[in-house]
Amino acid sequence: MLVEAVGLLAARKIARVYGGETIQIPQGLGVDDAKRRRAMTEMIEEGFSVEAICRKLNVDRRTVQRLKVRLQEAAQTDLFSRANNDAA
């Protein structure tokens, strides 16, 4: 998997430096970003833990946490907008 992400030469260098450790390799931008984001959103809405989402979708913890905050902010904004519309 590491070789696929960075190539053989880079994988060997990484193994020399970090051999035996677990490291996170960012996924980067790609075609699957929208699918991954939808899957993260669904899992967050279904109540999965950040750790479970990271394991299942192979994404970084901070990525899930940022999306979770954005979803919470969007929900609060939506509730605030509805309250203002109902009052008018």
Q: Are 23 and 35 part of one and the same domain?
A: no
Share in percent of the chain as helix, strand, coil (round to 5): 75, 0, 25
Q: Are 1 and 16 part of one and the same domain?
A: yes
The pLDDT of residue 21 is 85
The pLDDT of residue 51 is 96
| Structural domain harbouring 11 | 1-28
Can you give the CATH number for the domain in which 42 is found?
A: 1.10.10
Pinpoint the alpha helices (H) of 19-60. 33-45, 50-57
Identify the segments of the chain with pLDDT beneath 50.
none
Q: Are 47 and 78 part of one and the same domain?
A: yes
The pLDDT of residue 55 is 93
Q: CA nearest 43: which of 52, 31, 34?
A: 52
The pLDDT of residue 5 is 67
C-alpha of 58 from chain center: 8
Q: With a threshold of 0.75, does the pTM exceed it?
A: no
The domain total for the chain is 2
